[in-house]
Chains A and B, each alone.
Chain A
Amino acid sequence: MASGHVIKRAKYKTSPKGAGTPGVLKMTENKIMFKPNDPTSASKIDVEFRLIKGYKNTKEGSNNPPLLNLSLEQGGSYIFEFENFLDLQVCREFVGNALTKSGDAAKAKSGDTAKAKSGEAVKATSDRSTVTYPDEQLISSAEMELRIKLLRENSELQNLHKKFVLGNILTESEFWATRKKLLDGDIGTKSKQRVGFKSSMILDIKPMTDGRTNKVTFNLTPEIKYQIFALKPAVHRAFLNHVPNKMTEKDFWTKYFRAEYLHSTKNAVAAAAEAAEDEELAIFLKDDDILANAARQKIRRVDPTLDMEADQGDDYMHLPDHGIFRDGSKEITDSQHEQFKRTFLQDLNRQGEVVLEGRTIDVELEDPRTVAEALAQSRQESDENAKQERLDRISRMTEMEDLQAPHDHPLAPLCIKDPRDYFDSQQLKTSDDTRAGSEQLRCSLSSEEAYGSLRGSISEIKAMGLSDPVVRPEVAVMVLNGLTQNISSTKFQLGKNAQEGILNSLPNTTKEELLHHWISIQELLRHFWSSYPITTSYLYAKVSRVKDAMSKIYPQLEEIKESVPSDLRQQVFLLVRPMHQALDAAFQHYEADLQKRSAKGGDKPNGYV
């Protein structure tokens, strides 16, 4: 059906209820044509499949006539009524195939046009028409919605978006490029979890008997095949060895289930007899040697401090009936045919292990051959790790605690609740040293001279009287300011109270402004620095745009500083300073880069590299 064309008799209708125009519908690989029987009729159709968005059809068995509804991309639809449901079925399949084919092509095409369009749009908005931007990524509507949602939820983000994107400082894609994490994070929550194995015993695939004949049917799905490979390495190996060289896949599975069936009848004698006849069948009936090896390895991996022998008695075997399909207690032991008997416990453990391990491969399950190969590869990888892991484990487990050096660290973590405790004591210590120096200085004067000068001072004041203004007004103001600042200034509260930051002491408007500027600056700086080194003219344009925006913020910060009351100015200054420093660093780098550029190539004034 995929190739060629379909021609069916049909009626063309504009509405499901209308009478319709009888005619012939012809569908080729990329076109639908309808020729009405009456050549004068206007309802002649010739459309390409890429213009068709989707299709609907009525179901067989319902009261409706067999209708096929093709909806158009631009809106509107074509409705065809067929003579019977068989025709409808054929046409529907053809349309379905054609649509998927043309859809792929259309997507690629529309992508190109969209890219071109967005490119133009950006060009139009930018003031430098010579600058070309890298292709705006085509964003899906889902992503767009996500962006809108993020903006709506986060007013801060919205403000930034409004300021920079709508202010033509950053483009939409630039803005979001730095927030990939936000977008990814949201998508990440949607990503589906890997589905593990079912925990039901897949070994217990119950055969279906029809009751009349001796035929037994097993239902196999790719999923079950994969699980069998995972559960039984021996089957897995046999499959890799025998299929498709020795036998077909179908033969392989038939043999496998024959063996399984023999197991399920719990007839060890019969199993042994069958195995003797057919060596391939024997593979399935014998104990899985790979599993046995693995079990031996696992025993070695067990915590060396665990006494295995002491735990040996703790088995399940003597407990009757666990309510599970295959019950170990009912399996009669027969030492002669031991190897053809699997215990229930082994199966149960193996099942549990595989389920817990989960899916180790991630391939299409359709082809059992690829599944088997992928599984083999993943097993090899894990084996290599296991060896090293075992060594590590042993060294870890055999460590005797009381023979080890104490683990406590020689350094105590530095914890300064009140930083002034520390700094004041440091200051006092250093002041001691200087004190000793001044004492020496004092001793250099003879006592007579010292007393003489003291008496001189006293007689001086006696003669002169008290100095007229005791304190000069300027000095008095200074002292008074100094004293009251000590009292009111938040400097003395700094670090005292962790909950009360400087920000909270500022008036609300100032606080908000400062925070807003801080965020804006961070955003701009992020874009600024991420543009270096400038390799394209696009980046050059972006940097200069961002730089212009930043230089606009600079005076705004100064304004804030001026606007606050003088007692808070110090705090605001402290807050603004790092912003200024960050901006200055950016400007400096910009200038330096500009100079380097102009020095390198005077003939490229536009900053081309």
Chain B
Amino acid sequence: MPSAPTKLYADDVSLLVVLLDTNPFFWSTSSLPFSKFLSHVLSFLNSILLLNQINQIVVIATGCNSCDYIYDSSLSTNPGIENGKLPALCSELLKKLEDFVTRDEQLNKQQSQSLPPTTTSSLLSGSLSMALCYIQRVFRSGPLHPHPRILCVQGSSDGPEQYVAIMNSIFSAQRSMVPIDSCYIGSNNSAFLQQASYITGGVYQKPQQLDGLFQYLSTVFATDLHSRTFLQLPKSVGVDFRASCFCHKKTIDMGFICSVCLSIFCKHHKKCSTCGSVFGQAQSDVASASNLKRKTPET
């Protein structure tokens, strides 16, 4: 961790971990071309760095088959302009991104040989975990550190199969007081990101005009956490709190909950697949009736 203790971390210094959705299936259908999207995001990242000299940025690519760090501003050594066209940040990031996409494609090919392609959603849980790991490392670097936050720029829809992992990441972020902001550019709202932002105290934003993405990013997500307390950021109108069942990974609004470990199932099971608790056979009718709980959206 190169963040030297000599650096004076005031309360407006941020560590921004950006999770970029690089799901090729999403971008091939999106109304916003990936190149335009990158242009917006890169400008945004630049402006974050301009806001404070010691602001720090980490970019993690969220692919279909893998996730990886593609940029860390604390590691970049050559500031200045390369090619005369792109800032150093961009060319470095784009190069890494290209490498990442190639690797991800290879992984996809390997997987599709062994398994039929099932998933088209990005591995949000993976990138979230990576972001949290990085932040934990920053926390442990010393008593003074930039205020971390996570920004998910997500486009692909939720993968219910990641429900448990994502929820665990969310709770972990909540525990370490790391807000997860989300900018969802897909066609519908993402329940995962809504819950993530709701639980961690972040901002969930679904831009209506994708060609103004930069404006959204800089207006809503650029300010540091301290300044946020003085701003009136858009509030989410409602949160989809529905869960995915652990057995079939389906999104359900009513299901069965294990009374021991709180695992969620869409059907009654004799035994909890998570903790192994055996549900009484005799009282199964009663148990099923009482354990059937509805999750309702709340604001």
Instruction: Decide: B35 and A450 in contact? CB cutoff 8 A.
Output: no
Instruction: Decide: B215 and A464 in contact? CB cutoff 8 A.
Output: no
User: Given A435-B157, A470-B39, A479-B219 in contact, is the A458-B34 Cβ separation under 8 Å?
Assistant: yes
Given the complex, which residues of B lie within 8 Å of A455, measured CB to CB? Answer: 98, 101-102
Instruction: Decide: A464 and B35 in contact? CB cutoff 8 A.
Output: yes
Most buried by A among B187, B214, B234, B238: B238
Instruction: Decide: B101 and A451 in contact? CB cutoff 8 A.
Output: yes
| Interface status of B40 (Cβ within 8 A of chain A) | yes
| Interface status of A434 (Cβ within 8 A of chain B) | yes
In the bound complex, CA of A470 to CA of B217 (Å): 12
| Interface status of A478 (Cβ within 8 A of chain B) | yes
30 A-B pairs (CB sep. < 8 Å): A421-B238, A424-B297, A427-B238, A428-B297, A432-B251, A435-B187, A435-B188, A439-B157, A448-B105, A450-B25, A450-B28, A451-B105, A451-B108, A453-B34, A457-B33, A458-B38, A458-B94, A460-B35, A462-B91, A462-B94, A467-B36, A467-B39, A470-B39, A471-B212, A475-B211, A476-B214, A478-B209, A480-B219, A482-B209, A483-B220
Instruction: Decide: B108 and A479 in contact? CB cutoff 8 A.
Output: no
Nearest B residue to A424 via CB reads B238
Instruction: Decide: A447 and B25 in contact? CB cutoff 8 A.
Output: yes
Given the complex, which residues of A lie within 8 Å of B105, measured CB to CB? Answer: 447-448, 451
| Interface status of A420 (Cβ within 8 A of chain B) | yes
Instruction: Decide: A421 and B35 in contact? CB cutoff 8 A.
Output: no
| Interface status of A194 (Cβ within 8 A of chain B) | no
Residue-wise interface mask of A (415-438) relative to B, using a CB-CB cutoff of 8 A (1 in contact, 0 not): 000101100110110011011001
| Interface status of B208 (Cβ within 8 A of chain A) | yes
Given the complex, which residues of A lie within 8 Å of B25, measured CB to CB? Answer: 442-443, 445, 447, 450
User: Given A454-B22, A458-B97 in contact, is the A425-B297 Cβ separation under 8 Å?
Assistant: yes
> Which of B22, B29, B86, B233 contacts A466 (CB under 8 A)?
B86
Given the complex, which residues of A lie within 8 Å of B137, measured CB to CB? Answer: none
A483 smallest CB distance to B (angstroms):
6
In the bound complex, CA of A462 to CA of B91 (Å): 7
Instruction: Decide: B214 and A471 in contact? CB cutoff 8 A.
Output: yes
> Which of A448, A467, A487 contacts B232 (CB under 8 A)?
A487
A477 smallest CB distance to B (angstroms):
9
| Interface status of B27 (Cβ within 8 A of chain A) | yes
Q: Is the interface of A mostly helix, strand, loop or mixed?
A: helix
Given the complex, which residues of A lie within 8 Å of B117, measured CB to CB? Answer: 447
In the bound complex, CA of A460 to CA of B39 (Å): 11
User: Given A455-B101, A479-B216 in contact, is the A438-B297 Cβ separation under 8 Å?
Assistant: no
Instruction: Decide: B35 and A425 in contact? CB cutoff 8 A.
Output: no
Given the complex, which residues of B lie within 8 Å of A470, measured CB to CB? Answer: 39-40, 43, 214
| Interface status of A246 (Cβ within 8 A of chain B) | no
- Tell me how many residues of A have a C-beta within 8 Å of chain B: 48
B281 smallest CB distance to A (angstroms):
32
Instruction: Decide: A418 and B299 in contact? CB cutoff 8 A.
Output: yes
| Interface status of A311 (Cβ within 8 A of chain B) | no
Q: Which 9 A-B pairs have the closest CB atoms?
A: A424-B238, A450-B24, A457-B34, A479-B212, A479-B215, A465-B85, A475-B212, A451-B105, A457-B35
B231 smallest CB distance to A (angstroms):
9
Given the complex, which residues of A lie within 8 Å of B40, measured CB to CB? Answer: 470-471
B185 smallest CB distance to A (angstroms):
13
Instruction: Decide: A457 and B86 in contact? CB cutoff 8 A.
Output: no
Given the complex, which residues of A lie within 8 Å of B234, measured CB to CB? Answer: 483, 486-487
B203 smallest CB distance to A (angstroms):
11
> Which of B28, B38, B238 contacts A461 (CB under 8 A)?
B38
Further contacts, 15 of them, CB under 8 A, given A428-B189, A439-B157, A465-B85: A421-B299, A425-B240, A447-B112, A450-B25, A450-B28, A451-B105, A459-B98, A461-B39, A471-B215, A475-B211, A476-B215, A479-B207, A479-B212, A492-B235, A492-B237
- Tell me how many residues of B have a C-beta within 8 Å of chain A: 61
In the bound complex, CA of A476 to CA of B214 (Å): 8
Given the complex, which residues of B lie within 8 Å of A447, measured CB to CB? Answer: 24-25, 105, 108-109, 112, 117
Nearest B residue to A443 via CB reads B120
Instruction: Decide: A428 and B238 in contact? CB cutoff 8 A.
Output: yes
Nearest B residue to A427 via CB reads B238
| Interface status of A250 (Cβ within 8 A of chain B) | no
| Interface status of A441 (Cβ within 8 A of chain B) | yes
User: Given A478-B212, A479-B215 in contact, is the A425-B24 Cβ separation under 8 Å?
Assistant: no
B32 smallest CB distance to A (angstroms):
11
| Interface status of A472 (Cβ within 8 A of chain B) | yes
Residues 205-231 of B at the A interface (beta carbon under 8 Å): 207-209, 211-216, 219-220
B252 smallest CB distance to A (angstroms):
11
B242 smallest CB distance to A (angstroms):
8
B103 smallest CB distance to A (angstroms):
11
User: Given A451-B108, A483-B234 in contact, is the A462-B22 Cβ separation under 8 Å?
Assistant: no
| Interface status of A402 (Cβ within 8 A of chain B) | no
In the bound complex, CA of A450 to CA of B30 (Å): 11
B216 smallest CB distance to A (angstroms):
6
> Which of B22, B28, B189, B216 contacts A483 (CB under 8 A)?
B216
| Interface status of B42 (Cβ within 8 A of chain A) | yes
Given the complex, which residues of B lie within 8 Å of A492, measured CB to CB? Answer: 235, 237
| Interface status of A449 (Cβ within 8 A of chain B) | yes
| Interface status of B296 (Cβ within 8 A of chain A) | yes
In the bound complex, CA of A486 to CA of B234 (Å): 6
A416 smallest CB distance to B (angstroms):
12
Instruction: Decide: A445 and B29 in contact? CB cutoff 8 A.
Output: yes
Instruction: Decide: A434 and B187 in contact? CB cutoff 8 A.
Output: yes
Instruction: Decide: A458 and B212 in contact? CB cutoff 8 A.
Output: no
Given the complex, which residues of B lie within 8 Å of A439, measured CB to CB? Answer: 120, 157
Given the complex, which residues of A lie within 8 Å of B212, measured CB to CB? Answer: 471, 475-476, 478-479
Nearest A residue to B208 via CB reads A482
B162 smallest CB distance to A (angstroms):
15
Given the complex, which residues of B lie within 8 Å of A450, measured CB to CB? Answer: 24-25, 27-28
Given the complex, which residues of B lie within 8 Å of A461, measured CB to CB? Answer: 35, 38-39, 94
Residue-wise interface mask of A (75-110) relative to B, using a CB-CB cutoff of 8 A (1 in contact, 0 not): 000000000000000000000000000000000000
Instruction: Decide: A420 and B90 in contact? CB cutoff 8 A.
Output: no
In the bound complex, CA of A461 to CA of B187 (Å): 24
Instruction: Decide: A454 and B34 in contact? CB cutoff 8 A.
Output: yes
Nearest A residue to B121 via CB reads A439
| Interface status of B104 (Cβ within 8 A of chain A) | yes
B223 smallest CB distance to A (angstroms):
13
Given the complex, which residues of B lie within 8 Å of A434, measured CB to CB? Answer: 187-188
In the bound complex, CA of A462 to CA of B187 (Å): 27
> Which of B188, B189, B215 contacts A475 (CB under 8 A)?
B215
A66 smallest CB distance to B (angstroms):
93
Instruction: Decide: B28 and A453 in contact? CB cutoff 8 A.
Output: yes
Instruction: Decide: A466 and B27 in contact? CB cutoff 8 A.
Output: no
Given the complex, which residues of A lie within 8 Å of B43, measured CB to CB? Answer: 466, 470
User: Given A466-B43, A470-B214 in contact, is the A425-B86 Cβ separation under 8 Å?
Assistant: no
In the bound complex, CA of A478 to CA of B208 (Å): 10
Given the complex, which residues of A lie within 8 Å of B9, measured CB to CB? Answer: none
Most buried by B among A443, A455, A472: A455
Instruction: Decide: A425 and B296 in contact? CB cutoff 8 A.
Output: yes
Instruction: Decide: B299 and A424 in contact? CB cutoff 8 A.
Output: yes
In the bound complex, CA of A460 to CA of B101 (Å): 15
In the bound complex, CA of A438 to CA of B189 (Å): 13
Nearest B residue to A488 via CB reads B232
B187 smallest CB distance to A (angstroms):
6
In the bound complex, CA of A483 to CA of B42 (Å): 21
In the bound complex, CA of A3 to CA of B245 (Å): 108
Given the complex, which residues of A lie within 8 Å of B104, measured CB to CB? Answer: 451
Given the complex, which residues of A lie within 8 Å of B237, measured CB to CB? Answer: 420, 424, 492
Given the complex, which residues of B lie within 8 Å of A471, measured CB to CB? Answer: 40, 211-215
| Interface status of B139 (Cβ within 8 A of chain A) | no
User: Given A431-B189, A435-B188, A457-B35 in contact, is the A442-B214 Cβ separation under 8 Å?
Assistant: no
In the bound complex, CA of A457 to CA of B36 (Å): 9
Residue-wise interface mask of A (345-380) relative to B, using a CB-CB cutoff of 8 A (1 in contact, 0 not): 000000000000000000000000000000000000
Given the complex, which residues of B lie within 8 Å of A486, measured CB to CB? Answer: 234-235
